[in-house]
Chain A
Amino acid sequence: MQLIKSDINIDFIGKQKIGFIISILLILLSLGSLIVHKGPNYGIDFVGGTIIQIKFTESVPVGKIRTGLSSIGLNDASVQNFGQDQDNEFLIRTSNQKMTDKGLSLSIKDAVMASTGIAPEIRRVEMVGPQVGKDLREKALLAIFYSLLFITIYISGRFELKWILSGVTAGSLMTAVYFLSVFNVSMVVLITAALIVTLVLFWTLRLKYAIGAIIALLHDVLITVGIFSLLNLDFSLPIIAALLTIIGYSLNDTIIVFDRIRENLKGSNKTDSLPLLFNKSINRTLSRTILTSVTTLIVLFALYFLGGEIIHNFAFAMIVGVIIGTYSSIFVASPIVLFAHKR
């Protein structure tokens, strides 16, 4: 069986303008949503707070749970259905962290039992202090930054044999970030600045493949975060795991295309045939690019629909990331490398 014929020949490079417009629209939408919502919709992992998951044996109106919570002074707590309606499961979310010291879950259990008449089962309690939340936020940003940096070193090394050049560049960036972070410079500002410097450096150093890859990755991460922000979904620790996996995965697609481009470049020297050559490379690898995304999406959908509520958002982030990543390896990474080549 063959879904994509081996002699397929789509003019991807010719359509790069459409791709750029779509990408820029998506990025603007993401940035817009992030600005309007003042950053991602951080879960308690990153801002601190408490969530308590409770389950009843029979259906209970949300209002009664709220009454119970107000009776112990938790007026700011939000109560949500968790999972399917028939599960009778709820997630209570509050910014109150002090009370967990003195049996918050017990007092919630008692209060909710008093107001609903049914004893809930406390299934999960998560409390993160504000300091821990701040630490995790910084660590997450650093993790994204480091993985981007290491990957670009690898790409420059493997594709352009510029191990030392890219290594030294990345090394000095890392040192700069480390030293500045000691002086309490805001991590967001720091990482953004470091990424911009990375882009400019790689551009001037003519690390074509690395710049194509890193722009594609930033594109994927930004849009995934943006879609989460648009849909007002919780941004928690597993989402960071998803983002890093997307970085690795999306690059996987990109590398396969790059590999072909490099292989085909070896044979030719004429600059005018470059768009043709890029197109050929993308088309020849298209079948594989689509197929692996399909198999990965199959398992991700299985995880999304059957994996349970806790892993739901993670699966969703991965689904978005895989789709965006597949798109970007064709419409973002390769055109940028071509652009850098023409320079």
Chain B
Amino acid sequence: MKSFTFKSVSIIGVILAAIVFLLPTFLNTWPHKKINLGLDLQGGMHLVLEVQNIKAVEVEMERTIQEIKKQLRKDGVKHLGISRLNDNSILAKFPVGDNKSAFETVLSKNFENLIIQKPHTDNNIVSFKLALPEKEIENLKKMATEQALETIRNRIDEFGVSEPDIRIQGKNRILLQLPGIKDPDRAKDLIGKTAQLTFQIVDDEADVGSALNGTPPVGDEILYQTKYEAGSSVPIKTPFLIKKRVLLDGSLLTDARVEFDQFQQPQIGIEFSRKGARIFDRITGENINKRLAIVLDKTVYSAPVIQDRIAGGKARITGSFTLDDAKDLAIALRAGSLPAPVKIIEERTVGPTLGADSIRTGLISMMVGGFLVILFMVIYYKNAGLIADLALLINIILIGGGLAAFQATLTLPGIAGIILTIGMAVDANVIIFERIREEVKSGKTALASVHAGFDRASLTILDANVTTLIAALVLYQFGTSSIKGFAVTLCLGIIASLFTALVVSKGVFNFVLKNKPSKKLSI
């Protein structure tokens, strides 16, 4: 009798704990942990981005080339061109002579991380091939992904999404879960912006027209400005011939804000750090009467003529912005540029109305299915069926409590998992009841039949459920977020139904038979 009491107390304890965990989902009570709804139920956006981090390596190599050139100029070493190859190595050419050893000195002094392959001489030209060690390239890529994650997190925080989930997935992917997002297109646009701001000089000595037909002069590139006529959606593109050399970039920004010009047209005011302000001061001073192009993600926004030296480190980006465009651009500039472009490789967006519909239809089918099963069990097994039904209800409470307690996410397939569990959970009871019926038929007393039924069925039930559990666990491993939700409810359902069938049902049977030792079983 004592062990029975202990058992019943622990059963009631488990059920009460589940109810306590389940309550906050419906009422505002302790412990204040609601069941998490997946994006497919509450609406929101799931994005997977691929960071094209090879671009970060390219940028680093270009930077190294600039530095080598600068150092060579400083040391007075002549060269016949230093360029980046497609495999991200550097090819440096020198005339035969003293330059070879001079170059080697420069390298060993300032660029000791580069691997130098044996130079070869051809037509009085010595060529060196330089490369970064594989490990450093991997490191650069990894840093690019991490930095992209940080930048995107900052942008999302400023954009205002409650409880975003942003994480790195694999080597170069970033997973974003943005619940309840109102304007998915705008968010995607903001996330995908590289926001690479540069200040470059317009080459007015060469002709844009001839550059368009042939190749641009060495050290120049053609970039476009896009403008819209008032009231038209057809863009007008103007080509500019821009010197490739970047005089100043967005990394030295301290602030970017939306401002309005005298026509109430939005523009973006930017402010540089002290170092940035000094550089800005110098380049404007050196390039008076030339045009300074403000280039954002390879698009020219404006190219005003520098009238005078500009001190103080403030500048404006003007263009035909809408207010939202300007706001987002300011966020992107403040949050910093992405170290490499990102590409959206997976998107799943669910609107809030569809989510609400899914919850509704899910609940309806759960209730209808549950009711039919409950009805069926009572008709088929009479009073014993009631015990199975009680076990079923407890089962659902335990799944709900488990979801809340483990802070698992409930998705639409997750609801399907619960519904499936309702159908499958009675299975354990059916196995037991069928066994008990057999035992009763063989002439045993009610109590003995119940004991024998539970004893002989327990192992079978365990076996049968372990296999579904294995499948559910594999599914969890494989799962994308919505499928994971299904695996979770299925696992919880299996564990709960083992508990309800083997512990709760048995306890209730014992309780009923001990308190009212009738000679016949209603089964």
Contact = CB atoms under 8 A, between A and B. Distances in A.
Interface of A: 1, 3, 6, 53, 55, 100-103, 105-106, 121-129, 131-132, 136, 139-140, 142-143, 146-147, 150-151, 154-155, 158, 237-238, 240-241, 244-245, 247-249, 251-252, 255-256, 259, 284-285, 287-288, 291-292, 294-303, 305-308, 310-311, 314-315, 318
Nearest to B463: A255
Interface hub of A101, A128, A238, A306 (most chain B Cβ within 10 A) = A306
Contacts of A240: 475, 478, 483
B475 to A, nearest CB: 5
Interface stretch (B27-35, B146-154, B255-263, B365-373): B365-373
A140 B423 CA distance: 26
A296 to B, nearest CB: 4
A146 to B, nearest CB: 5
B365 A307 contact: yes
B163 interface: no
Interface stretch (B57-65, B207-215, B434-442, B444-452): B434-442
Nearest to B487: A241
B346 A127 contact: yes
A130 to B, nearest CB: 9
Contacts of B220: none
B343 interface: yes
B466 interface: yes
A306 B364 contact: yes
B158 to A, nearest CB: 20
23 contacts: A101-B344, A122-B351, A124-B348, A124-B350, A124-B354, A238-B482, A241-B483, A248-B472, A249-B468, A251-B467, A251-B468, A252-B427, A255-B467, A259-B463, A288-B431, A298-B369, A298-B423, A299-B420, A302-B365, A303-B369, A310-B358, A311-B412, A311-B416
Contacts of A122: 351
Interface string B477-491: 111101100110010
Contacts of A310: 40, 358, 412
A298 B421 CA distance: 12
B493 to A, nearest CB: 11
Nearest to B371: A302
B347 A302 contact: no
Interface of B: 40, 48, 50, 184-185, 188-189, 192, 343-351, 353-354, 357-358, 361-362, 364-366, 368-370, 372-373, 376-377, 379-382, 412-413, 416, 419-420, 422-424, 426-427, 430-431, 434, 437-438, 441, 459-460, 463-472, 474-475, 477-480, 482-483, 486-487, 490
A126 B376 CA distance: 40
Nearest to B480: A237
A308 B358 contact: yes
B483 A249 contact: no
Contact of A125 (B349, B370, B373, B470): B349
A239 B351 CA distance: 23
A143 B478 contact: yes
Contact of B419 (A101, A237, A302): A302
Given A143-B478, A245-B490, A314-B416, A105 B472 contact: no
B423 A299 contact: yes
Contacts of A140: 478
Contact of A241 (B354, B413, B430): B413
A53 B468 CA distance: 33
B51 to A, nearest CB: 13
Contact of B434 (A105, A128, A288): A288
Contacts of B430: 288, 291-292, 295
Contacts of A314: 413, 416
Contact of B426 (A155, A251, A292): A292
A306 B480 contact: no
Contacts of A127: 344, 346-348
A308 B365 CA distance: 9
Contacts of B470: 147, 150-151, 154, 248
B234 to A, nearest CB: 15
A105 B184 contact: yes
Contacts of A247: 471
Given A103-B188, A300-B419, A302-B365, 4 more contacts: A100-B347, A147-B470, A238-B416, A298-B423
Contacts of A318: 420
A298 B413 contact: no
Contacts of B419: 299-300, 302-303, 307
A320 to B, nearest CB: 14
Contacts of B459: 259
B353 A306 contact: no
Contacts of B463: 158, 255, 259
B276 to A, nearest CB: 31
Contact of B475 (A132, A244, A301): A244
Nearest to B466: A154
A255 B464 contact: yes
A252 B441 CA distance: 26
B432 to A, nearest CB: 10
A155 B467 CA distance: 9
A197 B179 CA distance: 46
Nearest to B45: A125
A164 to B, nearest CB: 18
B171 to A, nearest CB: 12
B477 A249 contact: no
Contacts of B434: 285, 287-288, 291
A276 B277 CA distance: 94
Contacts of A292: 423-424, 426-427, 430-431
A127 B479 CA distance: 17
A50 B422 CA distance: 34
Nearest to A249: B468
Nearest to A130: B345
Contacts of B354: 53, 123-124
Contacts of B362: 307-308, 311
Nearest to A238: B413
Given A132-B346, A302-B365, A123 B351 contact: yes
Nearest to A237: B483
Nearest to A318: B420
